[in-house]
Amino acid sequence: MFTNKTLIEALLFINGDEGVAISDIKKILNVETDEIKAVVTELQKKYIDDEESPYTIKFFGSKYFLLTKPEIKQLITEKTNTMNKRVNALSTALIENLAIIAYTPDCTSSKIAFIRNNDPTPQLKKLLSLGLITITGQGTGPGTPNLYAVTPKFHNLLGIKNNSQLPKVDFTKIIEENEINLFHDLEEEQ
Protein backbone atom coordinates (compact mmCIF):
# COMPACT_ATOMS: atom_id res chain seq x y z
CA MET A 1 0.00 0.00 0.00
CA PHE A 2 1.26 3.46 -0.86
CA THR A 3 1.58 6.30 1.63
CA ASN A 4 -0.27 9.59 1.23
CA LYS A 5 3.09 11.22 0.57
CA THR A 6 3.71 8.91 -2.41
CA LEU A 7 0.20 9.42 -3.73
CA ILE A 8 0.32 13.21 -3.41
CA GLU A 9 3.69 13.25 -5.17
CA ALA A 10 2.22 11.09 -7.95
CA LEU A 11 -0.78 13.42 -8.30
CA LEU A 12 1.55 16.39 -8.61
CA PHE A 13 3.60 14.57 -11.24
CA ILE A 14 0.59 13.37 -13.23
CA ASN A 15 -1.03 16.81 -13.30
CA GLY A 16 2.19 18.54 -14.38
CA ASP A 17 1.45 21.93 -15.95
CA GLU A 18 -2.20 21.79 -14.89
CA GLY A 19 -1.35 21.65 -11.19
CA VAL A 20 -3.56 20.08 -8.55
CA ALA A 21 -5.80 21.88 -6.06
CA ILE A 22 -5.93 20.96 -2.39
CA SER A 23 -9.66 20.33 -2.79
CA ASP A 24 -8.94 17.76 -5.53
CA ILE A 25 -6.34 16.00 -3.40
CA LYS A 26 -8.84 15.90 -0.52
CA LYS A 27 -11.50 14.32 -2.76
CA ILE A 28 -9.18 11.79 -4.37
CA LEU A 29 -7.28 10.66 -1.27
CA ASN A 30 -9.80 11.50 1.45
CA VAL A 31 -7.23 13.35 3.57
CA GLU A 32 -7.42 16.59 5.54
CA THR A 33 -6.01 19.91 4.35
CA ASP A 34 -3.46 20.06 7.19
CA GLU A 35 -2.04 16.67 6.23
CA ILE A 36 -1.84 17.70 2.55
CA LYS A 37 0.01 20.91 3.44
CA ALA A 38 2.40 19.00 5.73
CA VAL A 39 3.16 16.42 3.04
CA VAL A 40 3.70 19.10 0.36
CA THR A 41 6.02 21.00 2.72
CA GLU A 42 7.97 17.77 3.36
CA LEU A 43 8.23 17.13 -0.40
CA GLN A 44 9.35 20.73 -1.03
CA LYS A 45 12.11 20.31 1.57
CA LYS A 46 13.11 16.95 0.06
CA TYR A 47 13.48 18.53 -3.40
CA ILE A 48 15.37 21.57 -2.08
CA ASP A 49 17.77 19.46 0.00
CA ASP A 50 18.46 17.00 -2.82
CA GLU A 51 20.82 18.79 -5.19
CA GLU A 52 20.40 15.93 -7.68
CA SER A 53 16.64 16.37 -7.86
CA PRO A 54 15.42 18.49 -10.79
CA TYR A 55 12.07 19.22 -9.10
CA THR A 56 10.49 21.86 -6.95
CA ILE A 57 6.91 22.43 -5.80
CA LYS A 58 5.25 25.84 -6.10
CA PHE A 59 1.83 27.07 -5.04
CA PHE A 60 0.09 29.41 -7.51
CA GLY A 61 -3.49 30.55 -7.16
CA SER A 62 -5.17 27.58 -5.54
CA LYS A 63 -2.99 24.81 -6.95
CA TYR A 64 0.29 23.07 -6.28
CA PHE A 65 2.60 22.51 -9.24
CA LEU A 66 5.50 20.09 -9.55
CA LEU A 67 7.99 22.06 -11.64
CA THR A 68 11.56 21.85 -12.83
CA LYS A 69 14.00 23.87 -10.72
CA PRO A 70 14.63 27.21 -12.49
CA GLU A 71 18.38 26.65 -12.91
CA ILE A 72 17.83 23.24 -14.50
CA LYS A 73 15.02 24.54 -16.69
CA GLN A 74 17.32 27.31 -17.94
CA LEU A 75 20.13 24.86 -18.71
CA ILE A 76 17.81 22.45 -20.56
CA THR A 77 16.17 25.33 -22.45
CA GLU A 78 19.57 26.61 -23.58
CA LYS A 79 20.63 23.16 -24.74
CA THR A 80 17.37 22.41 -26.56
CA ASN A 81 17.36 25.86 -28.17
CA THR A 82 20.88 25.20 -29.44
CA MET A 83 19.75 21.86 -30.86
CA ASN A 84 16.59 23.40 -32.34
CA LYS A 85 18.59 26.20 -33.95
CA ARG A 86 20.78 23.59 -35.63
CA VAL A 87 17.76 21.68 -36.86
CA ASN A 88 15.78 24.81 -37.78
CA ALA A 89 18.78 26.06 -39.70
CA LEU A 90 18.32 23.34 -42.33
CA SER A 91 18.19 24.94 -45.73
CA THR A 92 15.84 23.85 -48.47
CA ALA A 93 18.74 22.07 -50.16
CA LEU A 94 19.53 20.12 -46.98
CA ILE A 95 15.89 19.15 -46.53
CA GLU A 96 15.62 18.05 -50.17
CA ASN A 97 18.75 15.91 -49.82
CA LEU A 98 17.40 14.39 -46.60
CA ALA A 99 14.11 13.55 -48.28
CA ILE A 100 15.85 11.86 -51.22
CA ILE A 101 18.05 9.82 -48.87
CA ALA A 102 15.10 8.89 -46.62
CA TYR A 103 12.98 7.68 -49.52
CA THR A 104 15.77 6.05 -51.54
CA PRO A 105 17.42 2.88 -50.22
CA ASP A 106 21.19 2.72 -50.86
CA CYS A 107 21.23 6.33 -51.99
CA THR A 108 24.39 7.63 -53.69
CA SER A 109 25.53 11.19 -54.29
CA SER A 110 25.18 10.66 -58.05
CA LYS A 111 21.53 9.67 -57.56
CA ILE A 112 20.95 12.85 -55.54
CA ALA A 113 22.80 14.92 -58.17
CA PHE A 114 20.63 13.40 -60.91
CA ILE A 115 17.38 14.10 -59.02
CA ARG A 116 18.29 17.61 -57.91
CA ASN A 117 20.48 18.50 -60.90
CA ASN A 118 23.03 19.83 -58.44
CA ASP A 119 26.22 18.63 -56.72
CA PRO A 120 25.12 17.43 -53.26
CA THR A 121 28.62 17.19 -51.73
CA PRO A 122 28.39 20.27 -49.44
CA GLN A 123 24.93 19.25 -48.22
CA LEU A 124 26.04 15.65 -47.60
CA LYS A 125 28.98 16.87 -45.52
CA LYS A 126 26.64 19.10 -43.46
CA LEU A 127 24.07 16.32 -42.94
CA LEU A 128 26.83 13.92 -41.89
CA SER A 129 28.19 16.48 -39.40
CA LEU A 130 24.68 16.97 -37.96
CA GLY A 131 24.34 13.21 -37.56
CA LEU A 132 21.18 13.10 -39.70
CA ILE A 133 22.67 10.74 -42.29
CA THR A 134 25.36 8.08 -42.24
CA ILE A 135 27.46 6.18 -44.76
CA THR A 136 26.19 2.60 -44.79
CA GLY A 137 28.65 1.11 -47.25
CA GLN A 138 30.08 1.32 -50.75
CA GLY A 139 28.08 0.93 -53.95
CA THR A 140 29.04 -1.23 -56.89
CA GLY A 141 28.98 1.56 -59.47
CA PRO A 142 31.93 3.41 -60.95
CA GLY A 143 34.32 4.59 -58.23
CA THR A 144 32.45 2.56 -55.57
CA PRO A 145 30.34 5.49 -54.35
CA ASN A 146 29.28 5.90 -50.72
CA LEU A 147 25.80 4.68 -49.84
CA TYR A 148 23.83 7.01 -47.59
CA ALA A 149 20.92 6.43 -45.21
CA VAL A 150 19.17 8.52 -42.57
CA THR A 151 20.03 7.92 -38.92
CA PRO A 152 17.94 7.29 -35.80
CA LYS A 153 18.51 10.97 -34.97
CA PHE A 154 16.57 11.85 -38.14
CA HIS A 155 13.78 9.49 -37.09
CA ASN A 156 13.72 10.98 -33.58
CA LEU A 157 13.39 14.50 -34.96
CA LEU A 158 10.36 13.42 -36.97
CA GLY A 159 8.95 11.36 -34.12
CA ILE A 160 9.00 8.12 -36.11
CA LYS A 161 10.64 4.74 -35.50
CA ASN A 162 11.87 4.04 -39.03
CA ASN A 163 11.49 4.97 -42.69
CA SER A 164 8.37 2.86 -43.09
CA GLN A 165 6.55 5.47 -41.00
CA LEU A 166 7.43 8.30 -43.39
CA PRO A 167 4.44 9.83 -45.17
CA LYS A 168 3.62 7.97 -48.37
CA VAL A 169 4.59 9.87 -51.51
CA ASP A 170 3.41 9.07 -55.03
CA PHE A 171 6.63 9.69 -56.94
CA THR A 172 5.01 8.68 -60.23
CA LYS A 173 2.60 11.59 -59.95
CA ILE A 174 5.41 13.99 -59.03
CA ILE A 175 7.51 12.83 -61.98
CA GLU A 176 4.54 13.13 -64.36
CA GLU A 177 3.76 16.66 -63.09
CA ASN A 178 7.39 17.71 -63.45
CA GLU A 179 7.56 16.25 -66.98
CA ILE A 180 4.40 18.15 -67.92
CA ASN A 181 5.87 21.37 -66.47
CA LEU A 182 9.16 20.70 -68.26
CA PHE A 183 7.42 20.12 -71.61
CA HIS A 184 5.20 23.16 -71.00
CA ASP A 185 8.29 25.29 -70.29
CA LEU A 186 10.03 23.96 -73.43
CA GLU A 187 6.98 24.75 -75.56
CA GLU A 188 6.86 28.30 -74.21
CA GLU A 189 10.54 28.82 -75.06
CA GLN A 190 9.97 27.84 -78.70
Question: Of residues 183 and 8, which shows the higher confidence score?
Answer: 8
Whether this prediction's pTM lies above 0.75 is answered by: no
Write the DSSP symbol of residue 167. P
Q: So what's the pLDDT on residue 132?
A: 92
Asked whether the predicted pLDDT for residue 130 surpasses 50, the reply is yes
What pLDDT was estimated at residue 88? 57
pLDDT value of residue 35: 94
Share of the chain above pLDDT 70, in %: 84
Residue 62, classed as helix, strand or coil, is coil
CA distances from 113 to 32, 56, 96 (A): 71, 53, 11
Which of 123, 166, 165 lies closest to 148, judged by CA? 123
Asked which of 117-131, 140-154, 167-181 is least confident by mean pLDDT, the reply is: 167-181
Q: In sequence order, what are the beta bridge partners of 146?
A: 138
The one-letter amino acid at 134: T
pLDDT at 171 over 80: no
Task: Indicate the average pLDDT of the chain.
Answer: 83
Distance CA 28, CA 11 (A): 9
Provide the pLDDT for residue 175.
Answer: 60
Question: CB neighbours of 8 closer than 8 A, spacing ≥ 6?
Answer: 25, 29, 36, 39, 40, 43
The bridge status of strand 63-68 relative to strand 55-60 is antiparallel
What digits encode the pLDDT tens for the residues 31-54? 999 999 999 999 999 999 998 889
**Local confidence band at 174 (pLDDT 50, 70, 90 cut-offs):** low
pLDDT in tens, 52-106: 889 999 888 788 989 888 888 788 877 776 655 555 567 888 888 999 999 888 8
